[in-house]
Structure 1
Amino acid sequence: MKVTLVAAAAAVLAGGASASHHLHDHRQVHQGLFQKKAVNDTESCVPACTTIYSTLTGPAGLYFPPSTSTPPPPPPTTTVAPATSSAPVTVPTPIPQTCPTPGTYTFPATTIVVTETITECGATTTVIPSGTHTIGGVTTIVETATTVVCPYATTKTEGGVVTSVIETTTYVCPSAGTYTIGPITTTVTEVTTVVIPVVTTYCPGTYTAPAVVTVVEHATVVYCPFNPSETPAPALASALPTKPAAVAALAVPKPAAPVPKPAAPLGGKGDKWAMTYTAYTVTGDCKEKPEVESDVKAIAAAGFTSLRLYSTDCGTLDKVGPISQELGLKLILGIFIGNKQCDNGSPTVATQISAIKAWSQWGSVELVVVANEAIYNKYCSVAQLRDLILHVKQELGGVGYKGPFTTTDIVASYVENDVSSICSIIDVVACNAHAYFNANTKPEDAGDFVASQLAIVEKICGLPGYVMETGWPTAGNTNGVAVAGVAQQQTALASIKQKLGKSVVFFSLHDDKWKQPGNCGCEQHWGCGEVFGAISSS
């Protein structure tokens, strides 16, 4: 069992990132497709139902579970006293229960009544692969130069004893932008579950940890979470969202065995698998077939074995299909969603499905991706996306397609939503991960960051995972230590390629000159064909 206490407040998940998301909006006649914007879940540094400016200290070793020989009994029903009372204050922190041996354990229900707003050190967990990772901090967006006062959770070590604390810092933001306050760097030598202290605010209400019966196969620690029955859930002033408490027990996992791969796995045989491709000119019009064929030949010559297509517009299948077959390239087909109600403007979902069915060159199809960041963009609910995936599977399966299906989204969409219903119907799990939108990631660390994002979604779904989109811009605003530039792109892509090139789709062949620069100033500058030798310097 590998559990590590990390001295910081919140992990950053970008490009699949909570700290700074990127956004891909399909265009109305091209406008906005694959647009990336740095946005943030936490616009205020202060918890939702209280303001604190003092230092709060938690008990020593707050989040190391007790090492007892038998499971400790859950605490009795407790009522929190008002602030003026001398009675101790109890909050609905998830209860750690030690299961020392294999067997069946029963934990009775526990209720806590909170009568005042309480802020304390809470905790959340995440799984990271081996390597050095920047995690933690409270992230905020400011629109002008300003000074912010932020509480953040961290740890202190005195005499070998680890104590979780909440501290307040005054931070000067010199200009408009996204700032992560109080991050730290940690290094692990194997896949590790890290326990991260966070600022947790409990509003008044009744919280219940339901009765739990759990079966364990190994020695482990089970965390029984409280669910509010009369008030909203506790607010976390943290850049790392927690998974929804939809399960009865949150098991702190031991180092996981490698996720099993299918008998005929996807991905490249070397360090280059796929590249995204859209058949648009610099003005946003559709390219003619000769130009499309030239692009596809360049991608194949650079050593890639697959292309990812987002949609069927511009007659892409008829233009890309024949030359791809000639060159032996596989296609990753897409059903694009760009409107609410889980539909698309033009071409509609029905039109895209019909185009793929009419084409039906299944020997060239490696994977079908239903929707691109539809949950994050709120185009689809989880239930709507599940139904759409099942519909596409039925439609394409009915005309002969026997290959795998998936969807792709940013990592935060998997973490913040109960996606179990989607995980159960896809064949592989996929995410989009752009390290540039993580202000704490240098170009040389891009590979480690993208790998950490992939590990998170693999763990959530229990499926082999692939990155459907990753890259680095050659121009744009500086985002913390993430600097856009030609040399930086070369460094970042080399890092990603070395770390997991056979499992990622690089974005993209050419710069997209038809786009607006966007808030990051980077929208037009993601072309990476020159780095891979697919195109010459212009």
Structure 2
Amino acid sequence: MKLLAPTLAALAALPLASAFHKGFNVAAQRPDGSCKNQADWEKNFNVIKGLPGGFKDVRVYASSDCGTLAQAVPAALNTGIQLLVGVWTENNDHYNAEKAALLAAAKKYGVKWISAISVGSEDLYRGDTNAQTLANQIYDVRGMMTTVGGKGIWVGHVDTWTAWVNDANAAVIKACDFIGFDGYPYFQNAAIGNAKSVFQQSVDATKAAIQRHKPGTPLWITETGWPVAGPNYGAAVPSKANAQTYWKQVICPLFPSYATYAYTLRDYYAAPAGPSFGVVDYYFKPLFNLAC
């Protein structure tokens, strides 16, 4: 599968950032649902650094929830991990708490631990907001970061590819420094043998939407994976073998061309209640071969 990176001219037109980050989505909760402390985050980060492939990046979903940044930032600094930071936008009180937590972390620790900031996650897919409101929040957070030495940090949004191809959401694309793409052939009822082409079609459709509304904006793969366990979804069958195939055929080819965050390091969902996408088990042992 040949995937094209953003052009050098397009990258030069945007704030400086590392070209291709490589890591995992990591939740702020332990498997029992309690909140991680700094030691838990350090354990997660050291596990990631110990996996084959040179992973040094993590996407966190929130800033204030579960004390995410208060606990994860010092852990990231101690382990050399960079964070793609999430800022939830669900309601004004939550949004303001998230901004306050991000601002506090930046004032205390500086900003070198930040790879980028995602304002919202799948808000458009869920219908929780409208495009102009979300765009205004992206501008708001970008402006806030300039007050703490964060000018040049990329601020964007993460959503499903189906939200990005909807032209009603063009205002969000125009507001973003990067487009965070979530795509799961599993949830598109794809058999593992078709997963590669289904994923590529969704990437191509998203890139076409970017081209329509803000050409040159980098596409980041912020969530993708295949479950190791759980219910079938149409022709999609969870298994370690299929997760291994998806890793080799879809995820590995992404790393040289896109900032990529696989979903997920360790899943706290227990099959059959829900699909489990974790690449390591409860004891942090890899469930399949992660070498590319």
* TMscore range, shorter length: 0.7 to 0.9
Distance change (3 Å), C-alpha of 1:325 and 1:310? same
Distance change (3 Å), C-alpha of 1:394 and 1:258? closer
Residue 199 of structure 2 is matched in structure 1 by 450
Residue 506 of structure 1 is matched in structure 2 by 262
Deviations 1:74-124 (A, max 9, x none): xxxxxxxxxxxxxxxxxxxxxxxxxxxxxxxxxxxxxxxxxxxxxxxxxxx
Is 1:388 the counterpart of 2:140? The answer is no
Partners of 1:385 and 1:292 in 2: CA distance: 29
Aligned length: 268
Paired residue for 1:432, among 160, 182, 190?
182
Q: Are the counterparts in 2 of residues 336 and 344 from structure 1 also a CA contact under 8 Å?
A: no
* Secondary structure of the corresponding residue to residue 375 of structure 1: helix
TM-score normalised by L of structure 2: 0.82
Distance change (3 Å), C-alpha of 1:475 and 1:536? closer
Partner letter of residue 408 of structure 1? V
1:86-485 paired onto structure 2 within 5 Å: 260-263=9-12, 264=16, 266-268=18-20, 273-302=22-51, 303-312=54-63, 313-337=65-89, 339=90, 343=91, 348-360=94-106, 361-402=110-151, 403-439=153-189, 441-461=190-210, 462=215, 463-485=217-239
Partners of 1:262 and 1:352 in 2: CA distance: 28
Q: Are the counterparts in 2 of residues 386 and 421 from structure 1 also a CA contact under 8 Å?
A: yes
Distance change (3 Å), C-alpha of 1:308 and 1:284? same
The alpha-carbon deviation at position 325 of structure 1 amounts to: 1.9
Partner letter of residue 349 of structure 1? Y
Q: Are the counterparts in 2 of residues 306 and 329 from structure 1 also a CA contact under 8 Å?
A: yes
TM-score normalised by L of structure 1: 0.46
Q: Are the counterparts in 1 of residues 231 and 272 from structure 2 also a CA contact under 8 Å?
A: no
Deviations 1:243-276 (A, max 9, x none): xxxxxxxxxxxxxx9695413454547xxx1201
Partners of 2:196 and 2:111 in 1: CA distance: 32
The alpha-carbon deviation at position 514 of structure 1 amounts to: 7.2
Q: Are the counterparts in 1 of residues 120 and 158 from structure 2 also a CA contact under 8 Å?
A: yes
Partners of 1:514 and 1:349 in 2: CA distance: 30
Q: Are the counterparts in 2 of residues 268 and 274 from structure 1 also a CA contact under 8 Å?
A: no
Unaligned 5+ segments in structure 1 are 1-128, 132-190, 192-256
Distance change (3 Å), C-alpha of 1:419 and 1:354? same
Deviations 1:192-249 (A, max 9, x none): xxxxxxxxxxxxxxxxxxxxxxxxxxxxxxxxxxxxxxxxxxxxxxxxxxxxxxxxxx
Distance change (3 Å), C-alpha of 1:458 and 1:259? farther
Identity of aligned residues (%): 21
Distance change (3 Å), C-alpha of 1:265 and 1:450? farther
Residue 280 of structure 2 is matched in structure 1 by 529
Partner letter of residue 277 of structure 2? W
Unaligned 5+ segments in structure 2 are 288-292
Distance change (3 Å), C-alpha of 1:344 and 1:376? farther
Deviations 1:430-474 (A, max 9, x none): 2110111122x3335434433332232222122221111111111
- Structure with higher RCO (Cα < 8 A, 6+ apart): 2
Partners of 2:164 and 2:40 in 1: CA distance: 37
RMSD of Structure 2 on Structure 1 (CA): 2.7
Distance change (3 Å), C-alpha of 1:260 and 1:451? farther
Distance change (3 Å), C-alpha of 1:328 and 1:261? farther
The alpha-carbon deviation at position 422 of structure 1 amounts to: 2.1
Partner letter of residue 418 of structure 1? A
* Secondary structure of the corresponding residue to residue 467 of structure 1: strand
The structure richer in helix per residue is 2
Q: Are the counterparts in 1 of residues 229 and 272 from structure 2 also a CA contact under 8 Å?
A: no
